[in-house]
Amino acid sequence: MTAFSEIADGVYVLAHPQFNINVTLITGTEAALLVDTLSTPEQAADLLAEVRDITSAPLSVVNTHFHFDHTFGNATMPATAIWGHPSCATELTDRGEHWRLKWEAEYGIDLGGVVIRPPDRLVRTAQVLDLGGRDVTLSYHGRGHTAGDLVVRTGNVLITGDLTEQDAPPSFEDAYPLDWPDTLAALLSFCTNETVVVPGHGSVSDREFVKRQHDDLTRLDWLIREGHADGAPVARIAAAAPFASEIAVRRGFAQLDGSLAV
């Protein structure tokens, strides 16, 4: 387990070596907020020890989305509340065991000891939390990496979850590729050149990085729409598109056909 690094006053990021995933701790004078909780009880216990090296304040959690590497440590945390989008809560409440078995097989990780704890405080549009001398805004700006991606803002720091990833192409398995560009455009509307961007995975970055991801996803969007209208093969569209993802093209086609479940 690596340690937290302070990237702004009272804002700390820990980059966990598994999946190079970022966890962010935000501290105030009366409370602290942890953004995501890693994959297993063991990882979460180590994470909690790192948190307590920084603050003993009452702790709440926000899940940026429902994927296991962001939520399966929830039950280990002594959290007074777990915030999340309704879609995140629904996926974990109704299909948590399905996802646990799927991801355990897919990634070869032992998730048998995980107790799934869904968010119990729901954010449909926005929620401001007062940590004592520090306000933190949790907000939803549309579908993208999943149906329920929350972002977290405090001061000049923007925490995007997997709406942006710095060290790997975006993951489209549960994505809405035709919505994703508009969601990033909404984030760009409140980014400045001074904004510090914490992606779901990879190095801390900036507004220009978000803009590049937006532009690439916009090009992917148009290639999917044009290819669907022309009846082009999925593989040919993916080969010409940023990220070269056949999954993205198939899900985009499903959106256009109206067959992608919300």
Q: How many CB atoms lie within 10 A of CB 229?
A: 9
pLDDT tens, residue by residue, 186-224? 999 999 999 999 999 999 999 999 999 999 999 999 999
Any idea what DSSP says for residue 125? S
pLDDT tens, residue by residue, 72-121? 999 999 999 999 999 999 999 999 999 999 999 999 999 999 999 999 99
Mean pLDDT (the chain, rounded): 96
Report the predicted TM-score, pTM, of the whole model to 2 decimal places.
Answer: 0.97
pLDDT of 139 reads 98
Domains and CATH numbers, the chain: 5-257 (3.60.15.10)
Token pair for 195: 């904004």
Q: Rounded to whole angstroms, how far apart are CA atoms 163 and 142?
A: 10
233 CB-near residues (< 8 Å, 6+ apart) = none
